[in-house]
A and B are shown apart, each in its own frame.
Chain A
Amino acid sequence: MNPFIFRTRINQIELLGKRAKNLEELLIEIKQISSASIYHHTHRFLEQHIFFSPEHPNDFSYWITTSLGLKQLGEIIASVEMFEFKDIELLRNKFVEIIQKYLLDNSSLRNCIPGEEFHFMSSKMFILSTPFQAHNLEDFLNCLKKITIHSFYFHMFEAKMRLQKGENDFSRWLKDNGFRQLGEQISYLDPYTHTLEGLRKKIINLIENYQKR
């Protein structure tokens, strides 16, 4: 059995100096900003609110709803099934498609009030090794309880979409090491509909129940 080496990552937030005051400007920037920026604006909330789920799961829907007052569009953007996307470019295309359609159907759109512009940001990811290593399922469970939320986030979210592995690291390791069913159970969990701590608890429960069988 290959050991699971727990790693962690820390983000540095970069300001891109680009802003939008209405939906048209938002669309222009969404089309051309870096994929790291799209990723940042759709995942930032997860780590900022690790114990509870805010109403808007991404910056775009939050701004469209609260600063532009476009509640219907905000809800559509908020409801995009992030879990289905393995690639940031596909996610970008989805947002572009939704906003373009909305702009075609709605001609008179207003600017946000001054001071509430959307500011585009991005993030630079620094990956580090942690002292935690698992050589069997019991080790894995113990480590899962101890690692920081940033390490947990790295293996659940960054691995799949930002590092383009197509799947979270936990499921892959479990499947590769004889725990196929457990690995699949974890990969079916939609991590975007849980808080990070809630998701960690759920995975811990799945493993503990598996051990009791």
Chain B
Amino acid sequence: MKLIKDYSQIVGKEIIDELYLVADKLKGKKIQNINSTLSGGGVAEILSRMIPLMKDLGLDVGWDVLDADNKFFEITKKIHNALHGLGVDINEEEYDYFLQVNKANKDKILDQSDIVYIHDPQPIALIDQDRDQGKKWLWRCHVDFSKPKENVWEFLKAFIKKYQAAVFSAPAFARFLDCRQILISPSIDPLSDKNRNLEKREIDFVLEKYGIDPDKPIITQISRFDHLKDPLGVIESYRLVKKYIDCQLILAGGGASDDPQTAEVLKEAENLASADKDIFVLHLPSQSNLEINALQRASTVILQKSLKEGFGLTVCEALWKQKPVIASAVGGIPLQIAHKYSGILTYTTEGTAYWIKQLIQEPEYAKRLGDHGKKHVANNFLITRQIQDYLLLFLSLYNKSDIVDLG
């Protein structure tokens, strides 16, 4: 298990010292995180990494999960889809069941904490200001909230407004709300298998496993097989480049193979790629973090040609590896890339192809983009920054003014 001091080598001792200074101001406060699952999914992953580090900083922080059945999770899946803007039908009985499960969990789950930090919509209705006088409540929304369906939004809003603050990942998710809204971007863990430094032999091993030529330029997109990630557009861009430059394309990622959409998109990509031995379509299991790391590090140029995106953390992962990244200007991607400084933002298949050619043929410029990108991520999107944001979030519950002198 990683300790907070292990991150000094990456962010500097001063940043870690600052974390200790802030954490010290939260002495005596007990914090309880609540979400819907202990494993699987991005929320559980980030909590499992952050909570040990916060404990290591001396915080009294815990993590509990809702006790719920499949019927409940089928309803919350519908709520999740509605927040993404999909038209779904949730009836009164389902809303009632959602509330019933939350109510039944109140006595079981809530402890004597000073701050309750609720993650995502599943446990949102646990809040009970009348019963839990003195507790501070925070709601963290980890999902894309840019175009929620009105009826589901109205249902959730009745709970959100009872919280002291709501936390979102991107500015576009903010709404007119009675409570404060805080921006906390997601982050990557530089010491995880997906992002840690690799030995050359580890990278070569993965290239050899898939028959990828290390001496020929490699264009890579890492993402699940989903139309919104536009893997077919990536193949089209590659073909426009291939007319002039002998290169290879890697499309690698996960997505449940029993998900009908994943299977369909994967098949389409495989069909398009079948006649070209330089296209590698790799459907990887979810634990393939080291392989993804190696593929990114072996790449000449990395793409994230999404049509829609929540935050797009794969961009940060690529920038962290000092790679030149060409990505669509959607969702949270422009927060990660300043066009022509720390990467390239594009809008079309043709524009993506144009920039791939430029970056392969101008390695010095590509290197500069990668260097700037890594510094930008180091400064803004590492797990230590997210921990700091969480600490400030907790402190802000007890300090109202715009300027707070903590002494």
A contacts, CB < 8 Å to B: 8, 10-17, 19, 34, 36, 47-52, 54-55, 115, 117, 119, 121-131, 146-148, 150, 162-163
Instruction: State whether A17 touches B172 (Cβ < 8 A).
Output: no
Residues of B within 8 A of A13 (CB): 182-184
Name which of A117, A128, A147 has the most chain B CB atoms within 10 A of its CB: A128
Instruction: State whether A128 touches B22 (Cβ < 8 A).
Output: yes
Residues of B within 8 A of A15 (CB): 168, 171, 173-174, 181-183
Instruction: State whether B22 touches A115 (Cβ < 8 A).
Output: no
Give the complex CA separation of A124 and B181 in angstroms: 12
Give the complex CA separation of A119 and B176 in angstroms: 12
Name which of B14, B146, B341, B393 has the most chain A CB atoms within 10 A of its CB: B14
Instruction: State whether A128 touches B18 (Cβ < 8 A).
Output: yes
Interface: B403 (CB within 8 A): yes
Residues of B within 8 A of A146 (CB): 14
**What total of chain B residues lie within 8 Å of the partner, measured CB to CB?**
42
Q: A48-B376, A127-B406, A148-B15 are in contact. Are A119 and B171 (CB under 8 A)?
A: yes
Give the complex CA separation of A49 and B341 in angstroms: 10
Interface: B338 (CB within 8 A): yes
Q: A17-B176, A121-B171, A148-B18 are in contact. Are A129 and B407 (CB under 8 A)?
A: yes
Name which of A15, A122, A123 has the most chain B CB atoms within 10 A of its CB: A15
> Chain B, 124-163, contact with A by CB distance < 8 Å: what is the 0/1 string?
0000000000000000000000100000000000000000
Residue of A nearest to B393 (CB): A12
Q: A14-B182, A17-B181 are in contact. Are A119 and B146 (CB under 8 A)?
A: no
Name which of B146, B171, B176, B380 has the most chain A CB atoms within 10 A of its CB: B171
Cross-interface CB contact of B18 among A10, A48, A54, cutoff 8 Å: A10
Interface: B10 (CB within 8 A): no
Residue of B nearest to A150 (CB): B18
The 4 closest A-B pairs by CB, nearest first: A119-B171, A15-B174, A15-B181, A13-B183
Dominant SS at the A interface? strand
Instruction: State whether A14 touches B375 (Cβ < 8 A).
Output: no
Interface: B404 (CB within 8 A): yes
Residues of B within 8 A of A130 (CB): 14, 17-18, 21
Residues of B within 8 A of A123 (CB): 402
Give the complex CA separation of A79 and B257 in angstroms: 53
Given contacts A17-B177, A119-B172, A127-B403, 14 further A-B contacts (CB under 8 A): A15-B168, A15-B173, A15-B182, A17-B175, A17-B176, A47-B379, A48-B380, A49-B338, A49-B341, A121-B183, A126-B395, A128-B18, A128-B21, A129-B407
Cross-interface CB contact of B14 among A51, A126, A148, cutoff 8 Å: A148
Name which of A11, A51, A123 has the most chain B CB atoms within 10 A of its CB: A51
Interface: B389 (CB within 8 A): yes
Residue of B nearest to A149 (CB): B379
Cross-interface CB contact of A127 among B12, B171, B379, B405, cutoff 8 Å: B405
Residues of A within 8 A of B22 (CB): 10, 126, 128
Cross-interface CB contact of A115 among B172, B393, B407, cutoff 8 Å: B172
Residues of B within 8 A of A36 (CB): 402
Interface: B49 (CB within 8 A): no
Interface: B392 (CB within 8 A): yes
Q: Smallest Cβ distance from A3 to chain B, in angstroms?
A: 16
Residues of A within 8 A of B48 (CB): none
Cross-interface CB contact of B180 among A14, A49, A129, cutoff 8 Å: A14
Q: A14-B182, A17-B181 are in contact. Are A119 and B174 (CB under 8 A)?
A: yes
Residues of B within 8 A of A54 (CB): 338, 341
Residues of A within 8 A of B175 (CB): 17
Q: A124-B402, A148-B12 are in contact. Are A48 and B172 (CB under 8 A)?
A: no
* 15 interchain pairs, CB-CB under 8 A: A12-B182, A12-B389, A12-B396, A14-B180, A15-B181, A17-B176, A19-B174, A34-B402, A54-B338, A127-B403, A129-B21, A130-B14, A130-B17, A147-B14, A148-B12
Give the complex CA separation of A121 and B177 in angstroms: 14
Cross-interface CB contact of B379 among A10, A14, A50, A119, cutoff 8 Å: A50
Interface: B372 (CB within 8 A): yes
Give the complex CA separation of A186 and B175 in angstroms: 43
Give the complex CA separation of A109 and B330 in angstroms: 24
Q: A119-B172, A129-B407 are in contact. Are A12 and B376 (CB under 8 A)?
A: no
Interface: B314 (CB within 8 A): no
Q: Smallest Cβ distance from B24 to chain A, in angstroms?
A: 10
Instruction: State whether B372 touches A14 (Cβ < 8 A).
Output: no
Residue of B nearest to A126 (CB): B404
Residues of A within 8 A of B386 (CB): none
Residue of A nearest to B403 (CB): A125
Instruction: State whether A125 touches B402 (Cβ < 8 A).
Output: yes
> Chain B, 252-269, contact with A by CB distance < 8 Å: what is the 0/1 string?
000000000000000000
> Chain B, 297-334, contact with A by CB distance < 8 Å: what is the 0/1 string?
00000000000000000000000000000000010000
Which residues in window 174-202 of B have CB below 8 A to A? 174-177, 180-184
Q: A17-B181, A147-B14, A148-B14 are in contact. Are A126 and B172 (CB under 8 A)?
A: no
Which residues in window 312-366 of B have CB below 8 A to A? 330, 338, 341
Residues of B within 8 A of A50 (CB): 375, 379
Instruction: State whether B172 touches A124 (Cβ < 8 A).
Output: no
Residues of A within 8 A of B341 (CB): 49, 52, 54-55
Instruction: State whether B404 touches A125 (Cβ < 8 A).
Output: yes
> Chain B, 3-22, contact with A by CB distance < 8 Å: what is the 0/1 string?
00000000010110110011
Q: Smallest Cβ distance from B387 to chain A, in angstroms?
A: 12
Residues of A within 8 A of B380 (CB): 48
